[in-house]
Structure 1
Amino acid sequence: MITRGSEWHRWEPHIHAPGTLLNDQFKYGDWDGYLTLLEAATPRVEAIAVTDYYTTSLYEEVLSQKARGRLPGVALILPNIEVRLDVAAKSGFVNLHLLVDPHATDHLVEVRRFLARLQFPAYNDRFACTPEDLARLGRMADPAISDERAAFAHGATQFKVNFAQLKGVYVESAWAKANMLIGVAGGSGDGTSGLHQAADQTLRQEIEKFAHFIFTSSPAQREFWLGQRGLTAQELQARYDGCKPCMHGSDAHNLTTTAKPVGDRFSWIKGALTFDSLRQSCIDPACRTFVGPEPPKTAMPSQVVSQLVIEEADWAATKSIPINPGLVAIIGARGSGKTALADMIAAGCEALGDTAWRQDEDVSPSFLVRARPLIGDSKVRLQWGGGETTGGYLDGRDVDDAWSFPRARYLSQQFVEELCSARGASEGLVREIERVIFEAHANDDREGAVNFGQLCENRTERYRQARQREAEAIAAISDRIATEFEKDAIVTSLQSQAAGKETLIKGYTADLAKLVVKGTEAQANRHAELSAAVQTLTGCIAAFSAQRRTFVAMQDEVKNTRTAKAPEMLRQAIARHPSSGLNASQWDAFLLVYKGDVDRALTGYIAWADEQIASLTGQPVTVGDPTAALIASDADLTKLPLSLLKAEMGRLEKLISADTIVRNQYSALTQRIATENSALQKLRMQLVDAQGAAERRKALQQEREDAYGRLFTAVISEQHALEDLYAPLMTRLTAMSGTLRKLSVQVSRTADVASWASHAEDHLIDLRKSGPFMGRGTLAEVARTELQAAWEAGSAAEVQAAMASFIAKYTKDLLAHAPYAPADQTAFRKWSTQFARWLFGTDHLAVRYEILYDGTDIRKLSPGTRGIVLLLLYLALDDADDRPLIIDQPEENLDPKSVYDELVPLFMQARSKRQVIIVTHNANLVINTDADQIIVADASPSMGSGLPTFRYVAGGLEDADIRKQVCDILEGGAEAFQARARRLRVRLER
């Protein structure tokens, strides 16, 4: 035996035929039309359960038609005997279906014997379920009927089977239990769904518990019977003796519906076209049965090895092996050629690996490498489901790893040992997990990245740049705060200087009064008024002049921004965003330009300032008669130009004293007073500015704290970006159970408090000075208490609050440890800037991720446990890789219960998306996964020094011979299995 094992085939498990006993809508005797429809059905029907009420006559007729050459594509024909229970449904009565193994010895005779034991009491008599008694019942019910077949049909409508009786007859019949499967209709018309009254609940449950399968086309019912809706599989086991397969046929009573179920709800059964496959579907309904337009999708044909051929190999008795696209289990005794077969498949896929081929024959675990001296010119050829052929020499001579792409993933024992070894190779496992995480993201979400590192960079670069910008902003604000500290420190000095200036001006004013000649007091007073007006006007002109200088400087700045600053900022932006895909002309749109016409505006502002200065200055004034006043006594001095005011002051100075010397002194002293007043005015402006430094410093400090909060927002956003990166994987892991839930990813912030404190102790504070931070290590202790928790787990607001609290408590103490005195302004300012940058720095913070297994970083796991993680990775999480997965002894690091609890469901899930080939000694991985194909390896000793002769047989679990070999090899035989069960006091039920 060597077959591809269990494959999907379309069955018609419920179809009537011309002449069906009840509701016959076929054209009388139109067997040709009926058979032609079956032969032409799409998808092809390969198994037919011919259905009729209480009889097998139509089944026998279809067999005779098959014998005459009809239905060449149908490999299995079996009887489906429909009986009606004496249980009323919504419309009619509940129907049961008895499907019989057509290959059972004397199955027709035994079926008739079974049916004859079913009796219906009526008319003071008992009627057996035989054609004769049914016809007799029909005539009793309607004496007007004379035709024998009509009487038979009418009797069938009257005959009802008692459920308890049917159940008893079945239980008492060893033949029936061995060769008959019972189904019940699940619909509301003639099925158990029609038993919706509360009083019928127990009866409905008993009928459904008794049935082996359910006839239903309802997706909701199919999900229910698979433990996916309403009840779990465990609850179904307790209440209904387990999950049940659901099938659906066309239930055709006419040619129109023959092999055409409503909604293309075809029945698919996985397994050989034998009754044993139907039995197997009752054991593994989720894996073996499906209702739908086409069978469940598995691996893509182009990614499936469909045939292995061994050429030029006298040591291979079996030259060709068909391979199932699902789960393939290779079993056999030690040294039987299991790993040899896996190696050959891997070699044909170029998946054995350069490392394996380069190993020494004496130490390599690979069969092909060890056997290389004896293999000779043997080749392997693989036929793929898509039609492609690959292969090569089995000694590896034509392997070219520089250009080859492995067509399969081969987890040999050597590969697992290398990837999960204790010699630091665990980084390879980390990279594999990162690859799976990357591929868990849809192509649309990968943002052009080709690997995990690039995707991680894409997701976090934005926040790292924001972090850098806020750090630069904090540094700039710290410089401004240092300036405000300096201004605050000179308030007293400015006050002293201003007081000195006031005293000096007061003295000058007194001296000026002494120079006034008696009789000219009025002129002197007028001169003083003019002097005050001149000083005010001079201040205004000075302000306009300062504005003009500012506008001119802004013109220079605008020019510099256009020619140097903005182009450089654009170049930096282009460098920061190399993946933008923008061309030079598109990037030009990002060149910083001024919103308005600043050139025109600044030119206008300068012209305006010039106008204001000219207006305030006025035109030159020529003084004529010294006795004639230039300005009327009642004129508003604030509205006169500077030139007129100064001319009038000059006229008055000549009248105040006729003595030239005195007049010059008066003029000079007046000028000196004006100069000192101007200086005093500047001092007062500086003093006002310095006196406001404290408030501005507080505002800047708040601004810096806000920037620190924004910086931490960027840090936290980076953390969230990494969490989002792992979210697809974590979502899947959370939904899984068992060992997979032990695998997790943890993203966290870490604060290196020691390095943060050490930097300050080494470069910024004097540990020799007495104070709370005297001596090494004290700063780190305070930081751990006050800051570490917020740094590592707090929100941006919490971090900001913690830093504000730290500053309020300890800044004064830290300043006391400064290596420079505040009086040393240059050194202290430089130090304070460095101090602030350190205090608000984040170089000691990092966002990191760990891949954990059961709470432990995988880098710290034992090699065996890493192997478990690797297996979980490929079986459950590696969705993007649809290549065949070949694993040599996956159970190696797990106990039998873990194999059953963890690996069995994972293998069952994995085969739905890729071809899986395993070499195993574990019965759970073959039987409880319901493996699609079992390849049994056997070897006979070599004659001399050559290789053993390898033979292989293959089939599915529905094949009795395969099941026997599985039991013999993996369980030690049925007797050994039963002996163990007895010793363990486990009850085995047949």
Structure 2
Amino acid sequence: MINRGSEWHRWEPHIHAPGTILNNQFGVSDPWSTYLSTLEALTPKVEAVAVTDYYVTDTYEEFLQHKVTGRLPDVSLIFPNIELRLDVASKTGFVNVHLLVSPEDPEHLSETKRILKRLQFYAFGDRFDCTREELIKLGKRSDTTIIDDGAALRQGATQFKVNFDQLRKVIAESEWAKKNILIAVAGGSSDGTSGVRQAADSTVRQEIEKFAHIIFSSSPAQREFWIGQRNVSVEELRSRYEGCKPCLHGSDSHDQKSVGKPVDNRFSWIKGALTFDALRQACIDPEGRAYVGEKPPSSAMPSQVISHVHFEDADWAVTPDIPLNPGLVAIIGARGSGKTALADVIAAGCDAITPAGWEADENVSPSFLTRARKLIGDASATLTWGGGATETRALDGRDANGHMSFPRARYLSQQFVEELCSAKGVSDGLVDEIERVIFDSHSQDDREWALDFTELREQRTARFQQAREREAEAIADISDRIATELEKESLVASLSKQVEQKKKLIAGYTADQAKLVVKGTEAQVARHTQLSGAAQKLRTKIQAYNNQRRTFVALQDEVRSMRATGAPEMLRQIQARHNNSGLDANQWDEFLLIYKGDVDKSLTAYTAWADAEVGKLNGVPPPPGDPNVALIADDTDLAMLPLAPIVAEMARLEALFGADKLIREQYATLTKRIAQENSALQTMEARLTDAKGAAARRKGLQTERDDTYGRVFEAIISEQNALAALYAPLMERLSSSSGTLKKLSFSVRRIADVQTWGAFAEEELLDRRKAGPFYGRGSLIAAATDALKPAWETGSAAEVQAAMTAFMGKYLRDLLSHAPFSPTQQTEFRAWSKRFAHWLFGTEHIAIRYEISYDGVDIRKLSPGTRGIVLLLLYLALDDSDDRPLIIDQPEENLDPKSVFDELVALFIAAKAKRQVIMVTHNANLVINTDADQIIVAEAGPHLSGGLPPISYVAGGLEDAAIRKVVCEILEGGEAAFRERSRRLRVRLDR
């Protein structure tokens, strides 16, 4: 016994036949031949027929006779539909009730008639039973002119009304009836319950509908109502009507033209074997097993469904051919029976076993193929797909994972689930799978040609990461400049002292020089002093021009370097950052940085200009002349003269100061020394002026750094928003979901690792041995956690900037007091202060992370079993883009039975409507409450020495009593699950 289990078949649950008691319009000339030929030619073909007549089974019995003669070869199930009229008025008539009788009992006809006989109608001072003979009597009593029994039967049928309370009592008092009869009631307004509210009390309508197992209606609105998708919930249906109910619709044919042709092709489809048990199953699972429409509900795409598995060269496979249902396939069996073997074989045929799975240790791996690797031999498996394609794969993995292969199914093996749900898997495999689902939730257009989540994330965030890097580099540069300004500030006092000392030194030299003046040469000395001042001013100008010239030469070197290496490298870096631009080499050349003007010409001119200016200031020395004749007239404007004649005049005067050569040399030496010290003094005064301005510049730079720090966080927040937008489609779906799916949530947030940030400073930057507020270990971390962490993690850029400014205002002096070097140790303190600033304004400790929570708990903190639920949520409910078969080995591992029912059952039901699901399970709830479409039962024989045990399989649907029996015997709690299911739905279903 092996078949595909529950598949959709067209049923005709309400059709009359020639000879029907009322409204027989089939004709009188061989109506059965035409009737049967019409049924046989119907498209889509009818495979189950409920032959309908009023109060009796005559046409059903005749229908069976024609079947015996070979007619209706495609019809596998025929059963009686006995139509009764209740004594409850509807809009234009009376409410019709149908007794659908199982033909399984060989005595079902006699038993049905015995049940009908218990229904009575009282009239004319007499009691009439619901039998053929009594209906004829009723007809003749109601119309005394009738003589013919046929006419009397028809007349009696129009008069006989069944009391609803009596019908309920008769059914309730008969175990046979409860087991073999399903009640259907018309849902229309003319002869159904929809018309009751206009002619009778609504309570009566509700009681009739509660009594019924099936509603005869083709209305989509009624179907939605009766499966809990419109106005009332499933729980309300259970409370008010004792459960959901399937809607079915037949042609209700009373003539040849309408045989098997309901209005608008609203055919009845039931999923299951062509047995009455399939109809019982439809009453238990109306949404999944009954449908009215031109075609049955679609599920997985045929090309994505494995329809058949064939073993080759595998003598251990007793059942070499196994057909598979396109819906939910449950593989069950005792431990060691070969359940995982079949799942492994199917996965291998789909190239769905990972290289790690094939290479696993055969001594510890739960995989059948891995453990049996040495015994598999040349065995292979051929899978046939619904579209007709076939693939053959060796079962030892020799042809697995080739460069042209790709997994045609998703296989959640025990090993795979254990790895993804382990502590390591939380941060690796499980997150990778979540990211894949997030990526797949975006349309192809939204993916921007990215191949995977990582690439898409980089595309969406690269711009902001680059901005963050640029601003961080700017902060580092500004911090270096601030450190320089701080160093200058610290030099004000020492430079001021040096200036004063230098002035005293010059004054001393000047006094010494005055003592060398010979009496009578005072006028020459005064003139010399005047000339010396003019010369000092000229030398200062010449030095300035020389400094400019050196700068121009250095700029020429930098220009050459920028052209040769700097600009090309910058272009290469831009190309690397924007490699998706699609620009060709010529287009990229436009981005090569070049100088706006002709800097070579300009710098050459600037250098020549500086040389010319120095030449002008130096001038040309005058030719030697009479030492007693002045080279420069007294009334000459010295500011207009170059340096050379002034120096020559000074030398002439020095020769006149005295006859003593030694004194003249001392005077000349002091003159040079005074000139040198005056130059040094000017340099010191310039530095002092620069140092006094450092405080103002530092404050400006600090403001600039604060603003730049804010821009860093603008980039970080922009990246955070980009990531949130990336996860938005999935987050939006989760927020609008209900039940289990709503428990799963995603959030994108900033994480500030204050511990690492503070610990680095405490260990690497601060001397905690010094007394101060940050003496103790962790004190800095505590202060930052309180003052900075909230803003870092949730604040706007402005709030982060303000928090850092406040933190520095409060703690900077304290932090500097713990510096390991004194400011007087200039070299060491300078290097330390730069490192300190880079740390303080660094953002390496700020990360953007998305968190996945289940029922409010981060997945990193969930138990392995609950992480398994998250994993199944991904594959069963969220992975919409993947329509490949989903193969799962024991999804209930680590879950208690309640969790299996509460968390997984609904997900499996939803998933099997979109893709083929094949699962190995020990759990009865996952088989029974998901209404598995096919049950494959594995059984292994005795283990052979040096070989594999023989493994056989049987398969069928839950509507098969033999399969149900096996389910109860193998799966713990199976019988209880069946009983509870039947009790809730009032449908008797033997195990």
Range class of TM-score, shorter chain: 0.7 to 0.9
Partner of 2:538: none
Partner of 2:574: 573
The answer to whether the 8 A contact 2:889-2:921 is kept is: yes
How many angstroms apart in 1 are the aligned matches of 2:306 and 2:119?
51
Partner of 2:958: 957
Cα deviation for residue 8 of structure 1 reads 0.9
Which amino acid counterpart does residue 4 of structure 1 have in structure 2? R
The root-mean-square deviation of aligned C-alpha atoms, in Å, is: 5.8
How many angstroms apart in 2 are the aligned matches of 1:214 and 1:330?
34
Q: What pairs up with 1:167-206 in 2 under 5 angstroms?
A: 167-196=168-197, 200-206=201-207
How many angstroms apart in 2 are the aligned matches of 1:365 and 1:258?
56
How many angstroms apart in 1 are the aligned matches of 2:364 and 2:639?
110
Partner of 2:246: 245
The answer to whether the 8 A contact 1:422-1:862 is kept is: no
Within the alignment, does 1:927 sit opposite 2:941 as a pair?
no
Within the alignment, does 1:787 sit opposite 2:753 as a pair?
no
Cα deviation for residue 838 of structure 1 reads 4.1
The answer to whether the 8 A contact 2:88-2:200 is kept is: no
Partner of 1:507: none
How many angstroms apart in 1 are the aligned matches of 2:929 and 2:784?
58
How many angstroms apart in 1 are the aligned matches of 2:926 and 2:932?
8
Partner of 1:77: 78
Q: 1:415 to 1:698 in 2, by over 3 A?
A: closer
Partner of 1:289: 290
Within the alignment, does 1:218 sit opposite 2:219 as a pair?
yes
The answer to whether the 8 A contact 1:134-1:151 is kept is: yes
Which amino acid counterpart does residue 785 of structure 2 have in structure 1? R
What secondary structure does 2:892 align onto?
helix
Q: 1:766 to 1:427 in 2, by over 3 A?
A: closer
Within the alignment, does 1:45 sit opposite 2:46 as a pair?
yes
Which amino acid counterpart does residue 238 of structure 1 have in structure 2? S
Q: 1:79 to 1:802 in 2, by over 3 A?
A: same
How many angstroms apart in 1 are the aligned matches of 2:130 and 2:451?
71
Which amino acid counterpart does residue 433 of structure 2 have in structure 1? E
Q: 1:695 to 1:120 in 2, by over 3 A?
A: farther
Q: 1:438 to 1:57 in 2, by over 3 A?
A: same
Cα deviation for residue 421 of structure 1 reads 5.7
How many angstroms apart in 2 are the aligned matches of 1:140 and 1:692?
127
Show CA shifts across 1:351-406 (max 9, x none): 45555555676665444555556555544333222222233454x27444444544
Q: 1:691 to 1:332 in 2, by over 3 A?
A: closer
Which amino acid counterpart does residue 4 of structure 2 have in structure 1? R
Q: What pairs up with 1:462-861 in 2 under 5 angstroms?
A: 462-475=463-476, 571-584=572-585, 665=635, 704-731=705-732, 744-745=745-746, 747-757=748-758, 772=773, 778-811=779-812, 813=814, 837-851=838-852
Within the alignment, does 1:11 sit opposite 2:7 as a pair?
no
Cα deviation for residue 408 of structure 1 reads 3.6
Show CA shifts across 1:867-920 (max 9, x none): 555455444444444333333333332223323323333332332233233333
Partner of 2:967: 966
Which amino acid counterpart does residue 431 of structure 1 have in structure 2? D
Show CA shifts across 1:234-291 (max 9, x none): 3322222222112223334455554343444332111011111001111122221122
Which amino acid counterpart does residue 291 of structure 2 have in structure 1? F
How many angstroms apart in 2 are the aligned matches of 1:255 and 1:687?
117
Q: 1:927 to 1:844 in 2, by over 3 A?
A: closer
How many angstroms apart in 1 are the aligned matches of 2:906 and 2:588?
54
Q: 1:759 to 1:942 in 2, by over 3 A?
A: closer
Which amino acid counterpart does residue 841 of structure 2 have in structure 1? F
Q: 1:376 to 1:709 in 2, by over 3 A?
A: closer
The answer to whether the 8 A contact 2:183-2:214 is kept is: yes
Q: 1:950 to 1:801 in 2, by over 3 A?
A: same
The answer to whether the 8 A contact 1:227-1:243 is kept is: yes
Q: 1:92 to 1:712 in 2, by over 3 A?
A: farther
How many angstroms apart in 2 are the aligned matches of 1:726 and 1:7?
38
Q: 1:832 to 1:206 in 2, by over 3 A?
A: same
Cα deviation for residue 4 of structure 1 reads 1.4
How many angstroms apart in 1 are the aligned matches of 2:989 and 2:314?
46
Show CA shifts across 1:509-529 (max 9, x none): xxxxxxxxxxxxxxxxxxxxx
How many angstroms apart in 2 are the aligned matches of 1:989 and 1:63?
25
Cα deviation for residue 667 of structure 1 reads 5.4
Q: 1:37 to 1:125 in 2, by over 3 A?
A: same
Cα deviation for residue 951 of structure 1 reads 3.3
Q: What pairs up with 1:83-98 in 2 under 5 angstroms?
A: 83-98=84-99
Show CA shifts across 1:482-503 (max 9, x none): 7998999999999xx9xxxxxx
Q: 1:50 to 1:592 in 2, by over 3 A?
A: farther
Show CA shifts across 1:389-442 (max 9, x none): 233454x27444444544444444444455556788973344334333333433
The answer to whether the 8 A contact 1:936-1:954 is kept is: yes
Q: 1:386 to 1:855 in 2, by over 3 A?
A: same
How many angstroms apart in 1 are the aligned matches of 2:691 and 2:356?
75
TM-score (ref. length: structure 1) = 0.75
The answer to whether the 8 A contact 1:350-1:399 is kept is: no
Partner of 1:385: 386
How many angstroms apart in 1 are the aligned matches of 2:248 and 2:589?
67
How many angstroms apart in 1 are the aligned matches of 2:492 and 2:740?
71
Q: 1:80 to 1:824 in 2, by over 3 A?
A: same
The answer to whether the 8 A contact 2:185-2:216 is kept is: yes
Show CA shifts across 1:706-740 (max 9, x none): 44333223222323333444444555555667776
The answer to whether the 8 A contact 2:761-2:839 is kept is: yes
Cα deviation for residue 827 of structure 1 reads 9.8
The answer to whether the 8 A contact 2:270-2:282 is kept is: yes
Which amino acid counterpart does residue 273 of structure 2 have in structure 1? A
What secondary structure does 2:169 align onto?
helix
How many angstroms apart in 2 are the aligned matches of 1:414 and 1:557?
62
Cα deviation for residue 129 of structure 1 reads 3.6
What secondary structure does 1:444 align onto?
coil
Cα deviation for residue 210 of structure 1 reads 0.4
Which amino acid counterpart does residue 9 of structure 1 have in structure 2? H
Q: 1:703 to 1:277 in 2, by over 3 A?
A: same
How many angstroms apart in 1 are the aligned matches of 2:770 and 2:422?
53
Within the alignment, does 1:888 sit opposite 2:896 as a pair?
no
How many angstroms apart in 2 are the aligned matches of 1:254 and 1:592?
90
Which amino acid counterpart does residue 938 of structure 1 have in structure 2? E
The answer to whether the 8 A contact 1:922-1:970 is kept is: yes
5+ unaligned residues in a row in structure 1: which ranges? 498-552, 604-659, 673-684, 982-987
What secondary structure does 1:892 align onto?
coil
Partner of 2:432: 431
Which amino acid counterpart does residue 3 of structure 1 have in structure 2? N
How many angstroms apart in 2 are the aligned matches of 1:199 and 1:795?
67
How many angstroms apart in 2 are the aligned matches of 1:305 and 1:106?
42
Cα deviation for residue 770 of structure 1 reads 6.8
Which amino acid counterpart does residue 231 of structure 1 have in structure 2? V
Q: What pairs up with 1:112-127 in 2 under 5 angstroms?
A: 112-127=113-128
5+ unaligned residues in a row in structure 2: which ranges? 500-553, 602-629, 643-685, 983-987
Which amino acid counterpart does residue 13 of structure 1 have in structure 2? P
The answer to whether the 8 A contact 2:310-2:383 is kept is: yes
Give identity over the alignment, percent.
Answer: 65
Cα deviation for residue 83 of structure 1 reads 2.3
Partner of 2:280: 279
Partner of 1:910: 911
Q: 1:766 to 1:378 in 2, by over 3 A?
A: closer
Which amino acid counterpart does residue 50 of structure 1 have in structure 2? V
Q: 1:692 to 1:98 in 2, by over 3 A?
A: farther
How many angstroms apart in 1 are the aligned matches of 2:881 and 2:107?
52
